[in-house]
Chain A
Amino acid sequence: MELPDWVPEGLDVNVPNAARMYDYALGGYHNFAIDREFVEKAESAMPGAKLLGHTNRAFLGRAVQWLAKAGIRQFLDIGSGIPTLGNVHEVAQEAAPDARVVYVDIDPVAVEHSRAILADNSRAVAIEGDLRRPREILYHPDVVGLLDFAQPVAVLTIAVLHFVSDDDDPAGIVGEIRDALVSGSFLAMSHGTPVHDERGTIQSMYRQTTTPLHLRTADQIEALLAGLEIVEPGVVPVSDWHPDPAGTTVPAHPGVLAAVARKP
């Protein structure tokens, strides 16, 4: 039976969920058995998968710091997941106490938990939203209530666009976001890219989740950023994007690419 379109998106803790899987991979505890099982399977299919999560999360922290240094005081984090470990508002507000952050996720559980975490923070909110419908996010009352789009905004799409299929027109989505930003705004992105995993094990595993995976090459990722100026060092593995000068022993992994781009 086809459900009428006003039935809300699924809310099923019997299906692995990207936000909670990511949390588990980072060593968090905001997840369910099904999420942990899936991550462990992914890890055995592609050793280092969990570390890839760490690397990606570390990039998020560096990117936010970099953006804050560049003068950005407004952040729109789409696909934020569960912002417990190294969350944007802490990093951003540590760098600039007046920084404002809106978290957006498709998973209502992640959003509710984010709200609980942000209850005392007047400069950060969380809303439920779907990146595939960017207008609903950009014009959400909580978004326009907290962020001033007449000023530069950094939109973060960290490890999320690879959940958007070509049918959903990711370039169009990025374009709509780009067009909503003033000059001097930024878009930070990290995106899964095909590597090692020739047989597509991980990709086929993700098909059992609510968010199947759509990996893209560096060229494809660069194409998504059309109309924006990609800042140095370009589209590179996440671990290579302005690495921590203090260094880290976490090995580089080419499975996720990162880029930060500026609206001219």
Chain B
Amino acid sequence: MREHELAAPPESVARPRSDALTDLAPATNGGAARNGGPARQAAAVHQAAAVHQAGAVHQAGAVHQAGPAHQAGPAHQAAAAPEIVELARDWFDAIALTTFVPGGHARGLPVLVDCLGQFATALRARPLDEIAGYRVGSALVGANMSAPETLGASLTLLGQRLPPALGVDSEPERSALAVLLGRFATGFTDALRDHALTAAEGIHRAERVAWRHKQQRLQNNLQHALLHDPLTGLPNRAGLTRRLSQLLADAPGGARLGICLLNLDRFSAVYDSLGPAAGDQILLAVSTRLSALAARQGNVVAHLGGDEFALLIERTTSAEDVIKATDEALAALPEPICLDDGHEISISGRAGIVERSAAGTDPTELLRAAHITLGWVTRNSRSPWAVFDPRRNAADLARHALGAAMPAALRNGEFTLVYQPLVRLIDRTVVGAEALARWRHPQHGLLGPAQFIAAAEDTGLIEPLGLHLLRLACAQAAEWQELASGPHLVSVNLAVAQVRHPALPALVADVLDRSGLPAHQLQLEITENAFDDTGGANLTNLHALHDLGIRLALDDFGTGYSSFAYLSELPIQAVKLATGFLRGLNRSDAPRRSNRTILPALISLCHDLGLTITAEGIETAAQAQHLTRLGCDLGQGFHLASPTEPDQIPGLLGGIVNATNESPDEPA
């Protein structure tokens, strides 16, 4: 830009001045001679001009920056006159007080010597080369002698020292010099403005670029933080999902892939007892091991949060590939981890595996399937891993669907009861009935407890459902009282959640009260697992029920971790034997000495404790006869009487069932 302006100076400024100088020129030239100025001065002018033309330039590398000052000249070199050098030195010192001159004397001085040479040449030229003044001003700024104070100091110094140094003593010469110095000020200011604007643009551009980079970094960091776990630095759920999406989108036809979702056994217990720092250390150790393994296998490892990790296995051929990777991953875990506090801890893990064709696979759905599979493993599996099974999943889904439909079904009265008669074995008299839950499902038909009780327990609906069935049973049993002869028993199952509910005794009392059924005609069946952990609290409930006059029966005795202690501790009147005890009682059965031995002892024990014994699931005459002989009090099962609708029960109560045709199966 600077050069452009110099090449074509503004006409309006240059023209009139130029005319004036043309007039002055001869006088200027002659002036020096006529006045016979000191030869020393004249020589200085010529010398300075020569310096300019020869270019002391070559000695001073910095002059390159001065641009226009660098001009071609005669090949001969000439040293500047001492006067000029002295003036240049003084000029430099004046400038150095106003601004920092890069390179100091070494760079600055040659520039100034050259500038003085230009002034001398310009003054001699006819017409006056006033543009030289502009060039010198510009050159000064180009050499970084560019402070505003530099201009003032230069004008003062040049105004005083140039006339004697260049032998300027006539009025026209002085005018010409004034013109040159004016142009010098213009050149300096123009260049300074350009320089300042360019610098300002530069620094602003740099600021913008720096900001853009900062934002980009911030964005990258943010993106990274969103897609990675802060502790382990591994891709998190979002990161894995994104990875999966890309992988699935890019997968060629027929490609398969697998995922292994892995969590650590008892991690939360370790975390609670050893603290978060140890927990983090364990997760980091696991992350390191899995990463090393994944790097070797060529797989991707992710940390989905907490103690949950995932291995993404590309290009599988079958589930076997994923199982192999999973086995290696699980095998890498137990090696002891040395914690900071000196403890060593060994951990293990479990895994859910999904392997399928990439086509049509949705990342979220794939991860969900892996989660479901891991759930199967954690809840009930001896193997540390399982492979996703679509049929099992469908069954799970159906169960969930049932669970979801339950609240409405309860409101709509779809839950009802059927009753299985309770038979006194010694004379086969029907003395009561056990209420069995049924769901009259509008689509699926009649469903038994096995199909919906678990779902009810999962969803928490078991309590209202249990209460509903208890009300129903009590109300129906109260009706039978009027229809049947003699007192009879209705036996109702209580779910674990019900037994644990603090309001149970009050609820039951209320139900009895409303139904009008005498308390001693209600038997509540409870299972042993109601006492697994919080036995103390539940005992209070049982005692309260007992105090109401209700019979309590321990259901399914002999399954799970039966404790004989229950028999003496609980306020129960009856025990219902688990059906397992009946195995081995038929002639055709493989001999089960254990049951043949245990059963008499058990019955005898219960009787000694004053407990009534009921055998469930009697399906053959042999079983019935055997149990009768052993002194078992009550029985129920298909052999005696099938579950039946409530309105059939009054007709059965007090009657005799199936006393005949048992002889053929008489046991040995």
Residues of A in contact with B (beta carbons under 8 Å apart): 4, 6-8, 11, 13, 20, 26-32, 53-54, 57-58, 61, 82, 84-87, 90-91, 94, 108-113, 115-116, 244, 246-250
Residues of chain A within 8 A of B104, CB atoms compared:
58, 61, 244, 246, 248
CB neighbours of B196 from chain A (8 A)? 29
The minimal Cβ–Cβ distance linking A73 to chain B, given in whole angstroms, is 19
Indicate if B598 sits at the interface (CB-CB under 8 A).
no
Which of chain A's residues has its CB closest to B99's CB?
A27
Q: How far is the CA of A173 from the CA of B387 in the complex (A)?
A: 57
* B147 CB contact (under 8 Å) in A27, A94, A250: A27
- List the B residue with the shortest CB-CB distance to A31: B203
Chain B interface residues (CB < 8 Å from chain A): 61, 93, 96-100, 102-106, 109, 144, 146-147, 195-196, 199-200, 202-203, 205-207, 209-211, 213-214, 217-218, 221, 224-225
Verify A249–B97 contact, CB threshold 8 A: yes
Bound Cα distance from A113 to B102, whole angstroms: 19
Q: Of A4, A8, A82, which is within 8 A of B214 by CB?
A: A8
Q: Which of B199, B211, B213, B224 contacts A84 (CB 8 A)?
A: B199
Count A-B pairs with CB separation below 8 Å.
100
Besides A11-B210, A54-B96, 16 other CB < 8 A contacts?
A: A8-B218, A27-B99, A27-B146, A30-B199, A30-B200, A82-B203, A85-B144, A87-B102, A108-B213, A109-B203, A111-B210, A112-B206, A112-B209, A112-B213, A116-B202, A116-B206
Closest 7 pairs (CB-CB, A-B): A86-B102, A29-B199, A113-B206, A246-B105, A108-B210, A112-B206, A27-B99
| Nearest B-chain residue to A62, judged by Cβ | B104
- Contact across chains for A61 and B102 when beta carbons are under 8 A apart: yes
Show 10 residue pairs from A and B whose CB-CB distance is below 8 angstroms, ordered by the A residue.
A4-B225, A11-B210, A13-B207, A27-B100, A53-B100, A61-B104, A82-B203, A86-B100, A110-B206, A246-B109
Whether the pair B100, A57 counts as a contact (CB closer than 8 A) is: yes
Least Cβ–Cβ distance between A201 and chain B, in angstroms: 23
Most buried by B among A53, A113, A116: A113
B217 and A8 contact, CB distance less than 8 A: yes
CA distance A109 to B203 in the complex (A): 7
Could you say which of A58, A82, A91, A108 contacts B100, with CB atoms under 8 Å apart? A58
Which residue, of A31, A32, A248, has the highest number of chain B Cβ atoms within 10 A? A248
Output the residue of B104, B195, B221 with the most chain A CB within 10 A. Answer: B104
Contacts of B205 in A (CB 8 A): 112-113, 116
A56's nearest neighbour on chain B, judged by CB, is B100
Q: Are A85 and B102 in contact (CB under 8 A)?
A: yes
Query: For chain B, what secondary structure do more than half of its interface residues adopt (helix, strand, loop), or is it mixed?
Result: helix
Contacts of B206 in A (CB 8 A): 30, 109-110, 112-113, 115-116
Report the bound CA distance from A249 to B104 in whole Å. Answer: 11
B192 to chain A: closest CB distance in Å? 9
- CB-CB under 8 A from B106, the residues of chain A are 244, 246
B225 near A6: Cβ-Cβ < 8 Å: yes
CA separation between A123 and B410, bound complex, in Å? 83
B141 to chain A, nearest CB (A): 11
CB <8 Å contact, B199 and A108: no
In this complex, which of A54, A58, A111, A112 has the most chain B Cβ atoms within 10 angstroms of its Cβ? A112
Q: Kindly list chain B residues whose C-beta atoms are within 8 Å of the C-beta of A87.
A: 102
Minimal Cβ-Cβ distance residue in A for B205 = A116
Q: Give the nearest-CB partner of A27 in chain B.
A: B99
Whether B97 lies near A250 (C-beta < 8 A) is yes
Shortest beta-carbon distance from B147 to chain A in Å: 5
CB distance from A169 to the nearest CB of B (A): 26
> Using Cβ atoms and an 8 Å threshold, which residues of chain B touch A108?
210, 213-214
A30, B96: Cβ atoms closer than 8 Å: no
Decide: B210 and A61 in contact? CB cutoff 8 A.
Answer: no
Contacts of A29 in B (CB 8 A): 195-196, 199-200, 203
Interfacial chain A residues near B217, Cβ < 8 Å? 8
Contact B61 A94 (CB under 8 A): yes
Closest CB in chain A relative to B337 CB, distance in Å: 26
Give the residue name and chain of the B residue nearest to A5 (CB): B221
In angstroms, how far is the closest chain A Cβ from the Cβ of B63?
13
Task: Name the CB-closest residue of A to B196.
Answer: A29
- Nearest A residue to B144, CB-CB: A85
Q: Out of A11, A26, A250, name the residue touching B96 (CB < 8 Å).
A: A250
Give chain A nearest CB distance to B486 CB in angstroms: 79
Nearest residue in A to B105 (C-beta to C-beta)?
A246
Shortest CB distance A232–B (Å): 20
CB contacts (< 8 Å) of B61 on chain A: these are: 94
Most buried by B among A20, A61, A110: A61
* CB-based nearest B residue for A110: B206
Q: Which of A4, A8, A61, A249 contacts B103 (CB 8 A)?
A: A61
Task: Tell me the minimal C-beta distance from B279 to chain A in angstroms.
Answer: 21
Contact A26 B211 (CB under 8 A): no
**CB-based contact A249/B96 at 8 Å:** yes
> In whole angstroms, what is the CA distance A86 to B108 when docked?
12
Residues of B within 8 A of A28 (CB): 199
- With most chain B CB atoms within 10 A of its CB, the pick from A30, A32, A111, A247 is A30
Which single member of B103, B105, B213, B218 contacts A7 (CB below 8 Å)?
B218
Candidate in A26, A29, A57 with the most chain B CB atoms within 10 angstroms: A29
- Assembled-state Cα–Cα distance A28/B99 (Å): 9
CB distance from A72 to the nearest CB of B (A): 19
CA distance A50 to B369 in the complex (A): 71
Q: How far is the CA of A20 from the CA of B144 in the complex (A)?
A: 17
Please tell me if the beta carbons of A249 and B93 are within 8 angstroms of each other in the complex: yes
Bound CA span A112–B144, Å? 22
CA distance A57 to B104 in the complex (A): 10
Q: Which residue of A lies closest to B90 (CB)?
A: A249
Q: Known contacts A54-B100, A244-B105, A250-B96; is A112 also within 8 Å of B207 by CB? A: yes
* Nearest CB of A to B648, in Å: 73
Chain A residues, Cβ within 8 Å of B96: 54, 248-250
How far, in Å, is A97 (CB) from chain B's closest CB?
11
Set of chain B residues within 8 Å of A31, measured between Cβ atoms: 203
Q: CB distance B100 to A109 under 8 Å? A: no
Tell me, rounded to whole Å, the shortest Cβ–Cβ distance linking B199 to chain A.
3
Look across to chain B and name the residue whose beta carbon is closest to the beta carbon of A13. B207
Residues of B within 8 A of A91 (CB): 103
The docked-state distance in angstroms from the alpha carbon of A13 to that of B214 is 14
User: Closest approach, in angstroms, between the C-beta of B132 and any C-beta of chain A?
Assistant: 25
The CA of A113 and the CA of B210, in the complex, are separated in Å by 9
A90 to B64, CA, bound (A): 13
Which chain B residue has the least Cβ–Cβ distance from A82?
B203
